Chains A and B, each alone.
Chain A
Amino acid sequence: MFGEIFGAWVAAFLTLAIFSFLYKDNPFYKIAEHIFVGVSAGYWTSMFFWTQIQPNLFGRLWPSTHYSDGIWYGVYDLFGIFSSSIFPEGGIDKGHEMHLMYLIPFALGIMMLLSLFKKLSWFARWGIAYTVGMAAGLRAYGYLNSNVIGQIKGTIIPLSDPDLPFFSLLEASHFNNLVILVGTVTGLLYFFFSKEHTGNFGKVTRVGIYFLMISFGASFGFAVMGRISLLIGRFVDLIAYSGAQYHHASIWVLVIMVALLGYSAFTDKGDPNTDVS
């Protein structure tokens, strides 16, 4: 219970410290920002290690199913002296078989870490090259199939189906199908820069721009919607932390912060040389 109450105070402080940036850049914001940076790095490091490296890499190099008294597991036992949590006794039991081929990504990974030293900075290139190659191969197929061919299929829609009405605001209709076809084609033509956008071609690309502008306007509307939703989420949490069970954490932190920032603004007013940061 103490953990929850203390946590609420910490969360309220960190939230309001970030929001204090709206007034101006100040020490509260800088402290919260640096804590965020440090905690994030530590959080991701721990999370990725325990969900990927320990079970899937070490779990394949030293699985418990192949535990023996040989040299290989002798190395494992040596590591286990330093950390019995990462290297538990008897090998790592995560349901894998031994695959010594995984020494390759292990070596590439160590090379990546060694690139921290300036002279060895090129070491990271091999690991990066592997991820770039893999991503390029995956995305070439994925984007061509779903973003180009799939979308072309979606644009091939009936324009002369007798069952469809000519105009309907919400259901399929000739007019709506025509809008999609014309909008997609003219929008695509706008991105064709090998020909100058003049004359009749220019008129067609102008129509394309109009469709793109409507799309950007819709994106803007959704962007505003998304940001306001996030703000609502924060205020809901702050309101929750202002409750009696958390000893009115949000209210106390807000009052103290406003008082300190107000005092700082009052004293800074008379001293033009004060370093605001």
Chain B
Amino acid sequence: MLWKRQIPILIVAVIGTLTLFGWFVNEPTIKDFVDDDATQWFDILASFAIFLGGFNLLKMQLQKVIRKQQGWQYSIFAIVGFFFAIIAGFFYKGNPDVAWGTHVTADGTLFKWIFTYMFAPLQATMFALLAFFVASASYRAFRIRNFEATLLLVAGIIIMIGRVPLGSNISSWFIMYLLVLIGGITINSVFKNKQYTAIFVSVGIIAITATGSSLGWPLDQPGIFYLPYLQEWIYKYPNVAGARAIMMGIGMGIFATSIRYILGIEKSYIGE
């Protein structure tokens, strides 16, 4: 029990306290250890964690093949892929002019070939798939059910259109006409009076046309209806306010959780 529980908790407490107070202590030995060696040890252990993950994966895929579980044929591809990368990493350079060690970053090596033509395309494509799902989800699930959802949607649309070159080419007068149309639909659904709707829409269109003609239809005036300016304002002010509130909340939460780990209150890393 001592080895499995108390010692890990002691390690977290000692190392956590040392690292935290290392920010405030000027004593050379402690500062040297915290800033240099402790950091290096962290890097080394992070690397071993990666090896553990890799070997665990290999173990699971091999078990799947040996026990002929469902889809075991595909596991052969995973195992072959793993060993192919290991051979390129440890046994066959492909470029005799490059030393072992730098071969993982140098040109002309089998390792670089694997990165360029296998790893990079696979990783990039996995993420690119999400573009399709986001479009499908937007169409099928994004609904204006209440005022908050409307705010979210409108802010999202303004950012999406205002942030790209297309938004710069949409005149603010077009947006004003669109707003008059949306206003007309809203008035119709609230008052259910065709007369009110007709008056509102006609007056709106006449007013905008008259003002626009007199000013010569400038693309970006009035600024509040020009999408790039509007998205810039949303991006820099109300969006920052909301994001800042979230960030401060998360920051305080992380501080509290870190202290809980150091004091030994939180023990999820040993499964408790």
Contacts and interface: CB of A to CB of B under 8 A. Distances in A.
Complex contact flag A–B (Cβ < 8 Å): yes
B128 A227 contact: yes
B244 interface: yes
Interface residues of B, number: 132
Interface stretch (B86-94, B191-199, B209-217): B86-94
A138 B17 CA distance: 10
Interface string A216-240: 1111111111011011011001000
B237 interface: yes
Given A52-B43, A151-B244, A126 B130 contact: no
B115 A38 contact: no
Interface stretch (B182-190, B200-208, B247-255): B247-255
A131 B49 contact: yes
Given A39-B85, A179-B238, A211-B238, A133 B44 contact: no
B240 interface: yes
A37 B81 contact: yes
Chain A interface helix/strand/loop/mixed: helix
A219 B234 CA distance: 12
A108 B7 CA distance: 13
Contact of B255 (A144, A184, A227): A144
Contact of B47 (A21, A48, A115, A187): A48
A213 interface: yes
B114 A39 contact: yes
B69 to A, nearest CB: 13
Given A18-B126, A132-B269, A138 B241 contact: no
A30 B126 CA distance: 12
Given A113-B52, A214-B234, A217-B154, A183 B9 contact: no
Interface size class, chain A = 35 or more
Interface string B66-82: 00000100110111111
Contact of A183 (B59, B138, B238): B238
A135 to B, nearest CB: 8
Interface of A: 3, 6-8, 10-11, 14-15, 18-19, 21-22, 30-57, 83, 85-86, 88, 99, 101-102, 104-106, 108-110, 112-113, 115-116, 122, 124-141, 143-144, 146-148, 151-152, 154-155, 169-170, 176, 179-184, 186-188, 190-191, 208-225, 227-228, 230-231, 233-234, 237, 277
